[in-house]
Chain A
Amino acid sequence: MNCQHTEKQLIDYINHNLDDKTHKQIKLHLNKCNDCQLALEELQTIFNAIDNAFQEYPDENLRENFEIMLQKEKAQRKKSDSIPLHQKENKLWKSVFQIAASFALLFMGYLYGNNQNRGAHTKELSVMEQENLQMKTAMTISMIENESASKRLQAVNFAKEFEHPGNEILNALINKMHYDNHVSVRLAAATALNKFSNQEVVRKALISALNTESNPSMQIELIQILVGIQEKRAIPTMEKILQDDKTPAYIKDEIKVELSHLI
């Protein structure tokens, strides 16, 4: 603790605004250092002087003079012949305008506030919806890979309820449609994707699923979906299945009937 340091903190020292440690350090320093001791005494003198300074009040005469002056001014104003800025007959209109303006202002304020409020509301709502959607998505995604086929099927049915599914959901559905071990899940995924067939990625996935699928029930479902959405790019795949010797006769017949709706 040097002199410079102590000097800076002397005022706080006098007012007891320092923590214990600093207070003690300064006290120690003051005991050793005469200069600082002197500075302290000076400061204390000044403070004492301020505390004990005589409070000066204005003279009684001043007040009386002021009162007289005020009376005079008031009297003069009463008999004033200055011309008013507005004529009397305009006064009514003026107040009407004033009231109308204040109402208009109030109304505008209300509108603004309302609008502001509604903005905040929709924002809040959309945040909530967003969170809800995220939760639903997370639940669906976690369940869609479950060991139980029935739970996977439920997750797929759940995904179907989305109005605007994110990529995560779409990819999960596409994956299920292609690779799930059970045709029940694949088929449910295909019908769910039919709902979102306005998206190119979904249409392409439906075509590629028909290309690889070997279960007849699933083939029929995919053909019906693709014809339903008028996907002409599926024609080569359908013709390929038609020419395959392994394809059951009733699937071939189905394709022939459906192709006529597509071309």
Chain B
Amino acid sequence: MKHSFLFTVFYLFVINVFSQDYTHSLEGINKVNVSSETTIVIKNHNKNEFLISEKENIRTTDKAKGLKAVFGQGNDNTSFGVEVEKDGSILKVKGLRDRLAKDLIIYVPKEMNVSLEVPSNNDIYINDLASEIEAKTNNGNIILKSVTGPVIIENNNGNVIINFDEIDQSLPTSIIASKGDIDISLPSDTPANLTLKTPRGEFYTDFDLELTQQSLDDKNNRKKRPIITKLNNGGVAITLIASYGNIYLRKK
């Protein structure tokens, strides 16, 4: 018994000294902004810190052992090809690697607000966050699982797939996809005021929707009117716009 205790202490000591993970305290920080040309993956953990683990991210290639990576677009102060900088209550994270490099996998606490941007053709994945999410991609997909919102999404040519656990009722949610589809799954009892626009695409759902008079009265879109409706007697404002693709709204 005594031996196993000593072994555990020793093991923890070794892990702490030799672990090559990058961490940054999130004390006094309420938002993490991440931009990267690579795919960004956000997961949660129970510590109040920002983590890039060595297990899931590439530090250097074998050939570069003992050398330091230098990037023109920023200072690699994490040794993971990522620049991390605290700016007031915001942690600014900038991926310095090329879009063909491996995914950047990041851990934050479940309640941390995040703002993510991938200007290349790569994707954004978020799993299990109960916080405010802002995400922007150009040609990649945005795939969120087990989130609560509010979410503000901008996607140019990719698809947006979101599985909501619930929808935050205090702040509005807005998802705009120019070329791709929007595919949303919601708990069936979600209260919301929905505004949907699919000027070139179509809208499919298994919710029972009744169009409001406002929707029928809209004069601006003579050709294709927006769909304005209430889910479960109305609630927070949710705007979904797919300018070219379709919108799928599914009951969970």
Contact with B along A205-241 (1 / 0, CB 8 A): 0000000000111001000110110000000000000
Q: Is the CB of A254 within 8 A of B90?
A: no
Taking CB atoms and an 8 Å cut-off, the chain A residues in 101-115 that contact chain B are: none
Tell me which of B134, B152, B179, B239 contacts A216 (CB under 8 A).
B179
Tell me which of B154, B156, B241, B243 contacts A182 (CB under 8 A).
B154
CB distance from B111 to the nearest CB of A (A): 14
Complex Cα–Cα for A215 and B177 (A): 10
Q: Is the CB of A228 within 8 A of B241?
A: no
Q: Is the CB of A184 within 8 A of B132?
A: no
Q: Is there a chain A Cβ closer than 8 Å to B36's Cβ?
A: no
The chain A residue sitting closest to B168, CB to CB, is A150
Taking CB atoms and an 8 Å cut-off, the chain B residues in 106-134 that contact chain A are: 113, 115, 132, 134
CB distance from B65 to the nearest CB of A (A): 40
Q: Is there a chain A Cβ closer than 8 Å to B199's Cβ?
A: yes
Residues of B within 8 A of A194 (CB): 220
Residues of B within 8 A of A254 (CB): 199-200
Q: Is the CB of B31 within 8 A of A150?
A: no
Residue total for A at the interface (Cβ-Cβ under 8 A) = 28
Residues of B within 8 A of A184 (CB): 152-154, 174-176, 239
Q: Is there a chain B Cβ closer than 8 Å to A171's Cβ?
A: no
Q: Is the CB of B243 within 8 A of A149?
A: no
Tell me which of A183, A224, A227, A257 contacts B176 (CB under 8 A).
A183
Taking CB atoms and an 8 Å cut-off, the chain A residues in 126-185 that contact chain B are: 147-151, 153-154, 157, 182-185
Q: Is the CB of B178 within 8 A of A228?
A: no
Q: Is the CB of A187 within 8 A of B176?
A: yes
Q: Is the CB of A228 within 8 A of B156?
A: no
Taking CB atoms and an 8 Å cut-off, the chain B residues in 221-252 that contact chain A are: 221-223, 237, 239, 241, 243-244
Q: Is the CB of B172 within 8 A of A150?
A: yes
CB distance from B149 to the nearest CB of A (A): 8
The chain B residue sitting closest to A216, CB to CB, is B178
Q: Is the CB of A150 within 8 A of B171?
A: yes
Q: Is the CB of B174 within 8 A of A188?
A: yes
Residues of B within 8 A of A225 (CB): 220
Q: Is there a chain A Cβ closer than 8 Å to B150's Cβ?
A: yes
Taking CB atoms and an 8 Å cut-off, the chain B residues in 138-170 that contact chain A are: 150-154, 156
Given contacts A184-B239, A187-B241, A228-B219, contact A154 B152 (CB under 8 A): no
Complex Cα–Cα for A80 and B243 (A): 107
The chain B residue sitting closest to A258, CB to CB, is B223
Complex Cα–Cα for A220 and B224 (A): 12
Q: Is there a chain B Cβ closer than 8 Å to A261's Cβ?
A: yes
Residues of A within 8 A of B171 (CB): 148, 150-151, 153-154
Q: Is the CB of A250 within 8 A of B200?
A: yes
* Size class of the B contact interface (CB-based, 8 Å): 20 to 34
Q: Is there a chain A Cβ closer than 8 Å to B136's Cβ?
A: yes
Complex Cα–Cα for A154 and B154 (A): 17
Residues of B within 8 A of A119 (CB): none
Given contacts A149-B152, A216-B244, contact A248 B31 (CB under 8 A): no
Q: Is the CB of B220 within 8 A of A224?
A: yes
Complex Cα–Cα for A220 and B156 (A): 13
Q: Is the CB of A228 within 8 A of B220?
A: yes
Given contacts A184-B239, A220-B199, contact A147 B31 (CB under 8 A): yes
Residues of B within 8 A of A228 (CB): 219-221
Complex Cα–Cα for A188 and B177 (A): 15
Q: Is the CB of A248 within 8 A of B179?
A: yes
Residues of A within 8 A of B243 (CB): 216-217, 220, 250
Given contacts A150-B152, A157-B172, A250-B200, contact A188 B115 (CB under 8 A): no
Residues of A within 8 A of B90 (CB): 147
Contact with B along A180-209 (1 / 0, CB 8 A): 001111011000001000000000000000
Given contacts A147-B31, A151-B171, contact A182 B220 (CB under 8 A): no
Residues of A within 8 A of B179 (CB): 216, 248
Q: Is the CB of A153 within 8 A of B176?
A: no
Residues of A with Cβ closer than 8 Å to B? 147-151, 153-154, 157, 182-185, 187-188, 194, 215-217, 220, 224-225, 227-228, 248, 250, 254, 257, 261
Known contacts A150-B134, A224-B220; 14 additional CB pairs below 8 A are: A148-B31, A148-B113, A149-B134, A149-B152, A150-B173, A151-B171, A184-B154, A184-B174, A184-B239, A215-B178, A216-B179, A217-B176, A217-B241, A228-B220
Residues of B with Cβ closer than 8 Å to A? 31, 90, 113, 115, 132, 134, 136, 150-154, 156, 171-179, 199-200, 219-223, 237, 239, 241, 243-244
Pairs across A and B, CB under 8 Å, 6 listed: A182-B154, A184-B174, A187-B241, A215-B156, A228-B219, A257-B223
